[in-house]
Amino acid sequence: MTTYIVRRVLLAIPLLLIVSFISFLVVDLMPGDYVTRLEANPIISQETIDRFRAEFGLDRSVLARYGRWITSIVTRWDFGRSFDTFLPAFDTLFLGNRLARTLLISSTTILFMWLLAVPLGVYAARHQRRFGDQALTVAGFASLSVPGFVIGLVLLWLLAGPLNVGAIGLGVGGLLDQEFAGARLSWAKVANLLWHLWPIWLVVGLSGAAGLMRYTRGSLLDEFDKPYVLTARAAGLSDRAVVYRHALRNAINPLISILGMQLPRLVAGSLIASKVLGLETVEGALWNAIVRRDPYVIMSGLLFFGAFLMLGNLFADLLLAWTDPRIRLD
């Protein structure tokens, strides 16, 4: 197992290098650079602008800059600096609690998706073609089809307008209300956190949950067709035992294999959520860097998400191997 993990990680490094080079090229393709915004200021002279460019190293060729960047990563673990803050690129991306916040959002959303989808999928499969299943089918498709930002907009409006939650503190715009920001952990703080999280779960994870529910249902139904299920029923086992103790366990396997595919959607969904609901996440910071043409932050961000996806896929594969003894890591 360890050799497998090590091999995967080592293999990923050249891939990450390629991703970084592609990102570098694409970022360079963007018209204008960080200094362009400065140029619109009437007071600043051409001399100063040229100076800024030289200072930021923007006057050198693409390959030269890429080479310097890679060298600085390899020798000093220095991913470059943000032109905005002059802090290291990753410090800017992860300013304050951003990383923790982003990971908290991602992990709780995945939990939400599974806790919502699997039980509903099981219910739908057990009551196939009856009213419950049909209702869930319609609801599932509807949820699959709503874009995340629409959910976010409507929620925002609901919370601010008709529901008017003003007094309790808005459920959006940050993960905690003012008063809890620096406070110590308490039940009230956790409650406040959850109150801010649930709109995020809906925006980021609702469509994923709906898809997962459909998959669960389908996968479970396939299990129901299999001989061992018929045998178990014939042997007199209750429906509950058949489903939960036997069929479900096997049905879960294909679901885990698509866990890896959920990750890019998680990243995209977080980006949308951070724009619409007003959260500062690492995706949001990357977006800001793209708008401001802050090259090292953009590339570090792309690298980070590349690594995030790779690790996520690795984790999903390991999880799959653990749950399904038939799968051999090779």
Partner 1 sequence: MTQPQRGEGVDRRTGDKNRRVGGGAVWSAFRRHRLAQVGTAILVAFVLLSAFAEFLSPYTPSDQNSAYTYAPPTRLHFRDDGDFRLLPFVYKTRSVVDPETHARTFVEDKTTRYDVRFFVRGEPYRLLGLFPTDVHLFGVRAEDGSADARILLFGADRFGRDLFTRTLIGSRVSLIVGPFVILILLPIAALAGGLSGYIGGTIDVVIQRIGEGFMMIPGLPIVLVVGAALSGRGLSPILTFLAVMGTLAIVGWARVARVVRGQVIALRETDFVTAARASGAGDLRILLRHVLPHTTSYLVVTATLLIPGTMLTEASLSFLGYGLREPLASWGSLLNAAADVTVIGQYPWMLIPAGFIIVSVCAFNFVGEGLRDAFDATKRWRAGRASR
Partner 2 sequence: MRRSVALTILAMLTGGLALFAQGYSEIPVGAKILPLGVAETPWEELRPGLRGGTFTTYDLGNPTRWNPTTAVETSTTLYTNLIFHGMVDLNPITATIDPALADRWEVSQDGRTIVFHLRQGLCWSDGEPFTADDVLFTFNDVILNDDITTGVRDALRLPDGTFPTIERLGDHAVRVTTPTPFRPILSAMGQKILPEHRLAQFVHKRNPDVAPGTFNTALGLDTDPAEIVGMGPYVIDRFVPDQQVVLKRNPYYYVYDAERTQLPYYDERVILIVPSDDVALLKFLNGEIDAFAPQLTDLPFLMGQGPLRGFTVLVDPGAPMYGTSWIGFNQDIGLADGTDENKRELYRNRTFRQAFAHLLDKEAMIESVFFGLASPQWSSLSFGSPFYAGRETYGGPITERDAVIYAYDLVEAARLLDSIGIIDRDRDGWRDFEDGSRVEITLSTVSGQSNAEGMSVILVDRARRVGLDVEFVTGDATAVLVSMFSGTFDALILAFTGGNEPNSLTSAFAPCGRLHFWRRSACEGPTDVDRALAELFAAGTATLDDDAAFEIYHEAQRQIAEDVSLIYTVYGAFRYAFYDHVGNAQMANPSGHATGLSGNAVDFIFDRRLAS
Q: Where along the sequence are the contacts to partner 2 (CB under 8 A)? A: 30-33, 36-46, 48, 51-52, 55, 84-87, 95-98, 156, 160, 166, 169-170, 172-174, 178, 181-182, 274-275, 278-280, 284, 288, 291, 293
Q: Which is nearer to partner 1, 16 or 319 (CB)?
A: 16
Partner whose footprint covers residue 23, from partner 2, partner 1, none (CB < 5 to 8 Å by kind): partner 1
3-state SS record for the chain: CHHHHHHHHHHHHHHHHHHHHHHHHHHHHCCCCCCHHHHCCCCCCHHHHHHHHHHCCCCCCHHHHHHHHHHHHHHHCCCCECCCCCCEHHHHHCCCCHHHHHHHHHHHHHHHHHHHHHHHHHHHHHCCCCHHHHHHHHHHHHHHHCCHHHHHHHHHHHHHCCCCHHHHCCCCCCCCCHHHCCCCCCHHHHHHHHHHHHHHHHHHHHHHHHHHHHHHHHHHHHHHCCHHHHHHHHCCCCHHHHHHHHHHHHHHHHHHHCHHHHHHHHHHHHHHHHHHHHCCCHHHHHHHHHHHCCHHHHHHHHHHHHHHHHHHHHHHHHHHHHHCCCCCCC
For position 290 contacting partner 1 by CB under 8 A, the verdict is yes
Q: Which of 122, 267, 297, 316 binds partner 1 (CB under 8 A)?
A: 267
Over the window 149 to 168, marking each residue x when it contacts partner 1 by CB under 8 A and - when it does not, the resulting string is: xx--xx-xx--xx-------
Over the window 34 to 73, marking each residue x when it contacts partner 1 by CB under 8 A and - when it does not, the resulting string is: ----------------------------------------
For position 147 contacting partner 1 by CB under 8 A, the verdict is yes
* 221 contacts 129 by C-beta, under 8 angstroms: no
**60 residue type, one letter:** R
Instruction: Provide, rounded to whole angstroms, the least separation between the CB of residue 112 and partner 2.
Output: 22
Q: Which of 144, 176, 193, 197 binds partner 1 (CB under 8 A)?
A: 144
Q: Name the one residue in this structure whose structure tokens are 């724009």.
A: 275
Residues 6+ apart with CB under 8 A from 152: 199, 203, 272, 273, 276, 277
Q: Which is nearer to partner 1, 57 or 254 (CB)?
A: 254
Instruction: Provide, rounded to whole angstroms, the least separation between the CB of residue 39 and partner 1.
Output: 14
For position 83 contacting partner 1 by CB under 8 A, the verdict is no
Partner whose footprint covers residue 288, from partner 1, partner 2, none (CB < 5 to 8 Å by kind): partner 2
Instruction: Provide, rounded to whole angstroms, the least separation between the CB of residue 275 and partner 1.
Output: 7
Partner whose footprint covers residue 18, from partner 1, partner 2, none (CB < 5 to 8 Å by kind): partner 1
d(CA 255, CA 216): 7
Cβ count within 10 A of residue 184: 6
Q: Which is nearer to partner 2, 2 or 46 (CB)?
A: 46
For position 9 contacting partner 1 by CB under 8 A, the verdict is no
Q: Which is nearer to partner 1, 180 or 276 (CB)?
A: 276
For position 203 contacting partner 1 by CB under 8 A, the verdict is no
Q: Which is nearer to partner 2, 176 or 314 (CB)?
A: 176
Instruction: Provide, rounded to whole angstroms, the least separation between the CB of residue 190 and partner 1.
Output: 27
Instruction: Provide, rounded to whole angstroms, the least separation between the CB of residue 329 and partner 2.
Output: 40
Q: Name the one residue in this structure whose structure tokens are 């204008």.
A: 32
Query: Which residues sit opposite 81 in a β-bridge?
Result: 88
Tell me the backbone φ, ψ of residue 77, rounded to 5 degrees.
55, 35
Footprint of partner 1 on this chain (CB under 8 A)?
11-12, 15-16, 18-19, 22-23, 26-27, 29-32, 137, 141-142, 144-150, 153-154, 156-157, 160-161, 207, 214, 222, 225, 261, 264, 267-268, 271-272, 275-276, 283, 286-287, 290-291, 298, 301-302, 305-310, 313
